[in-house]
Amino acid sequence: MFRNRDSSEVQLRVAEARQRDVGRGIVRVDRETMSKLSVEPGDAVEILGRKGTVAIIWPAYSDDEGKGIIRMDGTIRRNAGVSLGDIVIVRKVTLQPAKRIVLAPTENIGLAVTPDFAEYVKSRLIGRPLRRGDTIEVPVLNTALRFIVVSTSPSQAVQVIGDTEISVKSEPISEAEIAIPRITYEDIGDLEEAKQKIREMIELPLKYPELFRHLGIDPPKGVLLHGPPGTGKTLLAKAVANESGAHFIAINGPEIMSKFYGESEARLREVFKEAQENSPAIIFIDEIDAIAPKREEVTGEVEKRVVAQLLALMDGLQSRGQVIVIGATNRPN
């Protein structure tokens, strides 16, 4: 979810973009709709379908007035998770200037990813609104290369500006690798007490860090969720990330462990580095007992190194309250 949203929203039917608008990151609605949303041409809106994305709004063509439609191209439809004829929710959103954006190709692009290439990609994206998980197409020679927005700083909806740093990964990734379901507190069953505690301990410090600093309250660096499989631990973590607008990184404890010296610790360092670069952020470690078992059960050298690295990284968090670790386990002891 995005911050700084206006309370008014409208429902519109998705229609195909005119050819002149394809690839520009814009949508078109009629003037009555713009008035309801309290937006002007060039403002940003959030578009919610099965997924969510952002776009720049412009007035509809004269023959579309009163039709209750929103014209958008295939890229925006894909990012919103909708098809032609679907109904979407549209509301105003405030974009933040992007400090840094990390992109990754969806397939092998066959080009050297140099600083000059990253600058070219940036030049094609100036003014574009983006959010983590969006796919974008950049024209190169006689083709269009597709990239995924892996992360943004700040982590909410952003706009590419002249000072934005664009980083392009060389290895391709899939949309599924970074997708976060749009889970909210309402999607979780009878866990009212747990939801309230999660809000107080994690969501509020992430959303209102200045208040906590003013009051002299130190938010927790980590929270442990425990319970049998299927009780909603992962859902709670994803819901608080979506509700707070935080960057969400999910890792699995057993997958972090590696028999090769140094690999497990290096992976943890990468995760914490990504979180700090995209704060506010939540690091969710499922089956954390595989990484940090009871002290008396830690016998192998690998386990000792990983436990020590995890503790060192958590102790070294500078932006306390802006990066929070959530661990989940079936074995709280």
Instruction: Map out the domains of the chain as residue ranges.
Output: 9-94, 97-177, 185-329
The alpha carbon of residue 58 and the mean position of all alpha carbons in its chain are separated, in whole angstroms, by: 25
Q: Which of 46-55, 99-108, 163-172, 201-210 has the lowest mean pLDDT?
A: 201-210
Please state whether beta strands 100-105 and 143-153 pair in parallel, antiparallel, or not at all (unpaired). antiparallel
Inform me whether the pLDDT recorded for 268 exceeds 90.
no
pLDDT of residue 26: 94
Q: Residue 103 pLDDT more than 80? A: yes
Q: Residue 153: what pLDDT?
A: 83
Q: 190 or 114: which carries more pLDDT confidence?
A: 114
CA dihedral 126, 271, 198, 133 (to 10 degrees): 30
In terms of C-beta density within 10 A (0-12 exposed, 13-18 middle, 19 or more buried), how is residue 98 classed? Answer: buried
Higher pLDDT, 216 or 57: 57
Least confident piece of the model among 8-22, 37-51, 57-71, 284-298 = 284-298
Q: Which token pair is 125?
A: 């994206």
Question: What H or E segment, with its residue span, contains residue 26?
Answer: strand 26-29
Q: Are 5 and 48 in contact, with CB atoms under 8 Å apart?
A: no
The predicted model gives 286-311 an average pLDDT of 73
Structurally, at CATH architecture level, domain 9-94 sits in Beta Barrel (2.40)
Q: Is the pLDDT of residue 2 over 50?
A: no
For the chain, percent of residues with pLDDT exceeding 90: 29
**pLDDT band at 16, cuts 50/70/90?**
very high
97-177, CATH topology level:
Vcp-like ATPase; Chain A, domain 2 (3.10.330)
Look up residue 318 and give its DSSP letter.
S
pLDDT of residue 50: 84
Tell me which architecture the domain covering 185-329 has in CATH: 3-Layer(aba) Sandwich (3.40)
Is a pLDDT exceeding 60 seen at residue 3? no
Considering the chain, what is the average pLDDT of its residues?
A: 82
